[in-house]
Amino acid sequence: LQNKCDNIALIIKPEKIKQELERIEKEQEDPNFWQDVLKARDTNKEKVRLNRLLETYQKMKNSLDESVELFELAQNDNDEVTLSLLYEEAPVLEHSVQKVEIEIMLSGEND
C-alpha cells in the first residue's frame, strides 16, 4: 500500500496541486476575475476538483502513515492486540487507496 501511495503522489503531485490552488485563489481575488462568468465557473469547477482530489489523497496518506507508525510501535512492543486490529483495518486502507486510484482515473476533463 505504501508503494501505491508513493506512486499516486508521483502521478498527482500534491505540491503542484497546492500551488495551482493558491494560483486560483489569487486569480479569484482580482475584481476583474468575475467579469467573465464562464471562465469564473470553469475555474471554480477546477478548484473544487483539485480540492477534492487533494483532500482524498491527504486522508489516505495520513491514514496509511498512522497505521505504519502504529504497526512499528506495536511490533516493537509485541502488542498482539494492536497488530490484530491493524490487520483487520488493512482492507479499509486498501479501499482508501483504491478510491484515490479511481478518482485519478476519472479526474480528466471529460470524465
Does 40 map to a domain?
yes
Where residue 5 falls among pLDDT bands split at 50, 70, 90?
confident
Q: Please compute the mean of the pLDDT values over residues 7-25 and round it to a whole number.
A: 94
In a domain, 66, yes or no: yes
Banded model confidence at residue 110, pLDDT cuts 50, 70, 90: very low
In a domain, 46, yes or no: yes
Position 109 scores a pLDDT of 52
Whether 110 maps to a domain, the answer reads no
Print the domain residue range for 9: 2-105
Going by C-alpha positions, the residue among 83, 93, 100 that lies closest to residue 1 is 93
Position 89 scores a pLDDT of 86
Q: Report yes or no on 29 lying in a domain.
A: yes
Average pLDDT over residues 75-86: 87
Asked whether residue 87 is assigned to any structural domain, the reply reads yes
* Residue keyed to cell 516493537: 76
For residues 89 and 60, the answer to whether their CB atoms sit within 8 Å is no
6: domain CATH number is: 1.20.58.410
Task: Give dist(CA 9, CA 13) in Å, integer.
Answer: 5
Among 11-25, 51-65, 74-88, 97-111, the minimum mean pLDDT is found in 97-111
Is the residue at 19 inside a domain? yes
Cell readout for 46 is: 477546477
Q: What is the pLDDT of residue 108?
A: 62
Structural domains in the chain (count): 1
Which pLDDT score, from 0 to 100, does residue 4 have? Answer: 85
Report the predicted TM-score, pTM, of the whole model to 2 decimal places.
Answer: 0.78
Give a yes or no: residue 90 inside a domain: yes
What are the C-alpha distances in Å from 3 to residues 8, 48, 94? Answer: 9, 27, 12
